[in-house]
Structure 1
Amino acid sequence: MPYFALDKKYFSKFAIALGLLAISGIFFLGFWAATGDLAYISKYFYIHLAFLPIHALVLGLILDELIQLREKMERRKRLNMFLGIFYRQMGIDIMLNLLNLVSNRDELEEQMLVDKSWNARRFAKARRDLHGFKLKMEPNPRMLAALMDTLVSREQEIIAMTRNPLMLEFESLHHCLLSLFHLIEEYHFRGPMDKLRPEVLKHLAQDAGKALTNLATLWVAYLEHLKDEHPVLFGFQVGLHNSIQPMELDANGDSPEDD
């Protein structure tokens, strides 16, 4: 059945091609019957035939670029939709737990605290800075235990997202989810935090730092999307997490501290 469908598909295209050639031939024959100038028709035909590869090259490149641009925009919209769901459901909670392990948190917040005045260049700089930022992770057993409790409580959701075929399309988010899943696997393998050796705790803290870098970079990219597409939501998010801590907003979207 699939083989027949494939043959039918190509047969339809072949029929369309023949139909278009036949229409072109009819017009040429009509011109020849009306003017009798076969030499002009031959010259016109060969000149256009010679330019056909150039037309194909130019149109092919332009159309290919336009199609790729459109696909990139569609992928970005889908990615940002997934990012919104992810951060609303679990991403913020996980990131807050990860931040508790950062000893140079003030320096990190300077890189990821988004301001309403940021433009595309400032967002791009923040992503670059976050990607190269040297985190100093504190191997605190209590904080690591709180982080792992949060991750384990979301384990099934994280697994479901990693198994979603669409995630393979979004390499950055998929890589971030895998880094979180890696932490969960290590937790199941290592056991309770209070029984782990200091070097093991240090290793877990370093892995947590890698996950935080991924989360923070995606968070800044998501806020850039909100600023461009949903400025009201962007204002709410900046107000909520401008200090990487939840804050209450009034009905107008202003924080109580603004009064």
Structure 2
Amino acid sequence: MKKKTKETVIIGIGLVVLSLLLHYAHYLIFKDAHHTLIFLFADIAFIPMEVFFTTLIIDRLLEKREKNHFLEKLNMMIGLFYTEIGRAILTEFVKGDENIGELINSNICASNWDDNSCKKLKNEIKNRKFNLNITKINIDTIKNILSKNRDFLMNLIINENIHEHEEFTDMLMALLHVKEEIEARYCDKIQPFELDHLASDMAIAYKYLALEWCEYMNYLNKNYPRLFVRALIDNPFDDRDKKEKDKIYLVK
């Protein structure tokens, strides 16, 4: 038996024994077994109702509140990630995506988002085969971004809140793997097969980044409309001129 479980059993037995002793003391003082038994069985009869209110209603309300608070903190960290490095890396990956039209023709550049459109887009991203032309990607830029923000990435990974979000954790691990592969392989004498390996690793990270970016945009749309407009203007998948996007989105 685990130590924590053993302690819980001991405490439970102790409380039951204490309750019986107090009822016995009540009988000794007042010499009234009839009313003592009435109070005892009344207390026992109330237990199911008490469990219902405390466990099924109050605890669930508190759990829901705690979960909402946790999700808010988690989304704030995800937003910080995309603000600091995620959007910049996505921008580089998009340059090497020769089939980017497949995503642009979806609603990844849509000005209006909702849960259904976000879910549909995420399914499209999950089923899409991501390939990158690494010759169009500035590997040095990605290397510098990841190296400069190494501590930031590590702090995110060891954060317990992040562990509850498996896809985001997988994305962070994929980016760290890309960083390690670039540092180990990328040099003036890099071989073609090594470039292919790097492109494959980047494609995996690219897919994770696109998935989480989609979810993040939906979160902004529902909770922070002004930040959502800014995110639309900085959308790494939208290659229209920034002035053009300003005219379209800043009127919102």
Question: What is the TM-score with the length of structure 1 in the denominator?
Answer: 0.72
Counterpart-to-counterpart distance in 2, 1:189 and 1:129: 33
Gaps of 5+ in 1: 1-9
Matching residue's letter, 2:201 = D
| Residue 246 of structure 2, aligned match among 244, 250, 255 | 255
* Residue 212 (str. 1) matches residue 203 (str. 2): no
Alpha-carbon distance between aligned partners in 1 of 2:230 and 2:125, rounded to the nearest angstrom = 23
Equivalent residue, structure 1, for 2:228: 234
Aligned to 1:113: 108
Per the alignment, residue 223 of structure 1 pairs with 217
CA–CA separation in structure 2 for the residues paired with 1:112 and 1:212:
18
Matched residues in 1 for 2:211 and 2:231: separation? 15
Residues 88-167 of structure 1: pairs in structure 2 closer than 5 A: 88-111=83-106, 113-140=108-135, 143-144=136-137, 146-164=138-156, 165-166=158-159, 167=162
SS in 1 for 2:111: coil
State how 1:51-66 maps to structure 2 within 5 Å. Answer: 51-53=46-48, 55-56=50-51, 59-66=54-61
CA distance in 2, matches of 1:130, 1:65: 34
Across the aligned residues of Structure 1 and Structure 2, the Cα RMSD in angstroms comes to: 3.7
Percent sequence identity over aligned pairs: 22
SS class of match (2:130): coil
Preserved CA contact (<8 Å) 2:86 2:209: yes
Q: Is the 8 A contact 1:123 1:224 kept in 2?
A: yes
Structure 1's 229 and 247: CA in aligned 2 closer, same or farther, altered over 3 A?
farther
Cα shift at 1:122: 1.5
Instruction: Kindly state the Cα deviation for residue 195 of structure 1 after the two structures are TM-superposed.
Output: 3.0
Distance 2:182 2:173 in 1: 14
Cα distance in 1 for residues equivalent to 2:209 and 2:193:
24
Rounded to whole Å, the distance in 2 between the matches of 1:161 and 1:220 is 20
Q: Is the 8 A contact 1:240 1:247 kept in 2?
A: no
Whether 2:195 is the aligned partner of 1:201: answer yes
Paired residues of 1:135 and 1:209 also in contact (CA < 8 A): yes
Q: Does 1:75 align with 2:49?
A: no
Compute the displacement of 1:163 (Å): 3.3
CA shift digits 1:138-196 (9 cap, x unpaired): 242xx34x13433334314133332343244543333222211111111111132x533
Name structure 2 gaps, 5 residues minimum: 1-7
Kindly indicate whether the alpha-carbon contact (under 8 Å) linking 1:113 and 1:242 is maintained by their aligned counterparts in 2: no
What amino acid does structure 1 have at the position aligned with 2:37?
A: S
Q: What is the rounded CA distance, in whole Å, between the counterparts of 1:133 and 1:208 in structure 2?
A: 15
Aligned residues between the structures: 232
- Does the 8 A contact of 1:102 with 1:137 survive in 2? yes
1 CA distance for matches of 2:33 and 2:207?
A: 72
Q: Larger RCO: Structure 1 or Structure 2 (Cα < 8 Å, ≥ 6 residues apart)?
A: 2
Cα 1:112–1:152 change in 2 (3 A) is farther
Shift of 1:204: 1.3
* CA deviation vs aligned residue, 1:47-99 (integer Å, no higher than 9, x gap): 44145246425632434433332232122211221122221222111001111
